[in-house]
């Protein structure tokens, strides 16, 4: 079943901005929040504990990419934070992804559920031209994304971060319940910014995305709560 809430990317640099943002929502509105590197570098685990204490779910988007031993021990630590989802870069390879999963399993306290573990395929800010030029990967972008998705499945992870454009082919190449979390979501008329592979919330739902991640169209809206509800409605149509 797809997650019925859009995951809100809180790409803020200060803890106070997170508080100000979340205070706009009704206390009984339980959100799915994505916390990224900027915030974790400034505020650390405290920001995770705060968001969790309000009853929200947390995707901690740190995109780990290092040698297997370092990723395993980092995941052991992250597993203690009580987050619901974490991620790595699939480009780190199968051994690294298996190590990430092992770290999470070993670090998850008894009686708690292991956080979901997904891997970034190709960033949604990457076009085929950029991929071929910068990464020297001489296949199509879609072939690269599917290859990474298959490697992610082989490593035993729960799913991938991809653009909504690739969801159907990823599920066909892995399994229907392999999670596809899709950033690069833009309601009609909104600014793409640095995103290259974008889709509307409604199209993403139709095509089979399990989660959508939306940042600036909500956080930079004049009325972020209204923007969130409009996107949520479109996603659930």
Ligand X SMILES: O=c1ccn([C@@H]2O[C@H](COP(=O)(O)O)[C@@H](O)[C@H]2O)c(=O)[nH]1
Sequence ranges of the binding site for substrate: 11, 34, 61-70, 124, 186, 195, 215-216
Q: Does 184 bind ligand X (CB under 6 A)?
A: yes
Q: Does 193 bind ligand X (CB under 6 A)?
A: yes
Q: Is 63 a catalytic residue?
A: yes
Binding site: which residues?
A: 11, 34, 61-70, 124, 186, 195, 215-216
Q: Does 11 bind ligand X (CB under 6 A)?
A: yes
Catalytic option among 19, 52, 66, 84:
66
* 94-107 helix and 68-78 helix, angle to the nearest 10 degrees: 30
3-state secondary structure of 183: coil
Q: Which is nearer to ligand X, 44 or 193 (CB)?
A: 193
Applying CB under 6 A, among 120, 131, 145, 160 the residue interacting with ligand X is 120
Integer Rg of the chain from CA:
17
The per-residue b/e assignment along 207-234, b for 16 or more CB within 10 angstroms, e otherwise, is bebbbbbbbbbbbebeebeebbebbbeb
Contact 58, 48 (CB under 8 A): yes
Angle at 217 between CA 216 and CA 223, to 5 degrees: 105
Minimum distance from residue 110 beta carbon to ligand X (Å): 31
| Cα–Cα distance measured from residue 60 to residue 91, given in angstroms and rounded to the nearest whole number | 19
The footprint of ligand X on this chain (CB under 6 A) covers a number of residues equal to: 15
What residue ranges bind ligand X (CB under 6 A)? 9, 11, 36, 120, 123-124, 161, 183-184, 193, 195, 213-216
């Amino acid at each position: 079943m797809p997650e019925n809430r859009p995951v809100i990317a809180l790409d803020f640099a200060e803890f106070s901005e997170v508080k100000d943002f979340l205070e706009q929502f009704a206390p009984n509105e339980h959100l799915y929040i994505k916390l990224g590197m900027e915030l974790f570098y400034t505020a650390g685990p405290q920001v995770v504990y705060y968001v969790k204490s309000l009853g929200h779910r947390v995707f901690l988007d740190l995109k780990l990419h290092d040698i297997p031993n370092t990723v395993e021990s980092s995941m052991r630590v992250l597993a203690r934070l009580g987050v619901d989802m974490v991620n790595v870069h699939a480009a780190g390879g199968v051994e690294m992804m298996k190590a990430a999963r092992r770290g999470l399993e070993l670090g998850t306290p008894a009686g708690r559920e292991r956080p979901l573990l997904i891997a970034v395929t190709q960033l949604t800010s990457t076009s085929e031209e950029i991929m071929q030029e910068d990464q020297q990967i001489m296949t199509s972008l879609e072939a690269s994304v599917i290859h990474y998705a298959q490697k992610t499945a082989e490593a035993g992870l729960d799913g991938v971060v991809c653009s909504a454009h690739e969801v159907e082919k990823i599920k066909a190449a892995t399994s229907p319940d392999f999670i596809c979390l899709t950033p690069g979501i833009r309601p009609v008329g909104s600014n793409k910014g640095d995103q290259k592979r974008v889709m509307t919330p409604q199209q993403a739902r139709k095509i089979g995305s399990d989660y959508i991640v939306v940042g600036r169209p909500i956080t930079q809206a004049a009325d972020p709560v209204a923007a969130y509800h409009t996107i949520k409605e479109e996603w659930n149509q």
